[in-house]
Amino acid sequence: MDKKGLTYRDAGVDIDAQDEALRRIKGFIKDTRTPGVLADLGSFGGLFRPQLDGLEEPVLVASADGVGTKLRAAFLTGVHDTVGRDLVNHCVNDILVQGARPLFFLDYIATGKLEPAVLACVVEGLAKGCRENGCALLGGETAEMPGFYTDGEYDVAGFIVGIVDRPRVLDGSAVRSGDLVVGLPASGMHTNGFSLARKIFFDVAGLQVGDTVDELGETVGQILLAEHKSYLAALSGAIDRVHALAHITGGGLTDNLPRVLPAGCSVRIERGSWEIPKLYKYMAERGGVAENEMFRTFNMGIGMVAIVAPDEVRALEAHLDALGERHVRIGEVVAGDGAVSYG
């Protein structure tokens, strides 16, 4: 009698599970198809034909990112259908600040043991984010890597490509001293600061993911999984009115605003110009976190910043008002060495 040989499944990789996962996600991906998509799911590479009408000098803009340790909240709660949307929105915002609109998105998901239902939830979130932002989920990769990840855990990364006409690229060169700084509110912590937040909630406050934080009226899980907002719909029609945009992610206002300032310019932020959400006040008090550390770790309630000439600010604000988008003037550009100060 022949002895049964080892299989890939014996080594921890289940091809049948991969096939089942693919079956579950095909519909989500199909729903993101845009006119530029030329290849069906399953090809070795995605094919995309961009619409170039009206563009004098098309420039592609690409970015890659991950969700970071926000994934830990997904593992603890068992809620996996929001982190994909977070990832898409984060990447969309990153190319929006250079004036680009998204064309297509690719994902990479790695796990120790593939769970088709979990993967389907993650991809459902990715697809929802792509549909909302008008870009195609063109393809991706799922890697089952036994021994690399603890059971029930995974990592997800995203890759986005967008397009902008070169004369409309936002590179910060138009920023001048005297420009005004307009902040658009965030919808939570977005995708940054979660290692410190988890330490405060779990280690210092001694809370569990399902516990309600009385001061905030939500569970820890709800707070941590609040979705990262996309600003594409709010700002895509106003790109020509701004001198620069800054996505407030890791490093907060302190480190992200200097990335769009030309030489000789700094920004002065007026602390009392917006209401800092209770979440950050709670974490600062419970964790004993210094104010400057809070401003470098969290967005403090501002998810996107527009730098605008004084004679354009009212037009930008009218545009945002018409869309029902909240906004607040939080500072101005001043002469300096590229730093952010708080008054």
| Average pLDDT of adjacent 10-residue blocks, the chain of 343 residues | 65 72 81 91 88 95 96 97 97 98 97 92 96 96 91 95 97 97 97 96 97 97 97 96 97 96 97 96 97 96 98 97 98 97 93
**Polymer length in residues for the chain:** 343
Task: Tell me the DSSP string of 63-116.
Answer: EEEE-GGGHHHHHHHT--SSHHHHHHHHHHHHHHTTTPEEEEEEEEEEESS--H
- Residue 52: how many CB atoms within 10 A of its CB? 11
The pLDDT assigned to 17 comes to 72
The pLDDT assigned to 7 comes to 67
Rounded-to-integer distance, Cα 160 and Cα 288, Å: 38
Phi, psi dihedrals of residue 174, rounded to the nearest 5°: -85, -10
Residue ranges of alpha helices (H) inside 251-334 are 252-256, 278-287, 291-297, 313-322
Domain ranges of the chain: 9-168, 180-342
Rounded-to-integer distance, Cα 121 and Cα 142, Å: 14
The pLDDT assigned to 11 comes to 65
Rounded-to-integer distance, Cα 18 and Cα 22, Å: 6
Rounded-to-integer distance, Cα 132 and Cα 185, Å: 19
- The pTM of this model reads 0.94
Planar angle of CA 219, 221, 227, nearest 5 degrees? 110
The pLDDT assigned to 269 comes to 98
The pLDDT assigned to 16 comes to 72
3-class DSSP state of 197: helix
Topology adopted by domain 180-342:
Phosphoribosyl-aminoimidazole Synthetase; Chain A, domain 2 (3.90.650)
The pLDDT assigned to 3 comes to 63
What's the CATH architecture for 9-168? 2-Layer Sandwich (3.30)
The pLDDT assigned to 10 comes to 64
What is the Cα 213 distance to its own chain's centre? Answer: 25
Contact 242, 312 (CB under 8 A): yes
Rounded-to-integer distance, Cα 27 and Cα 43, Å: 16
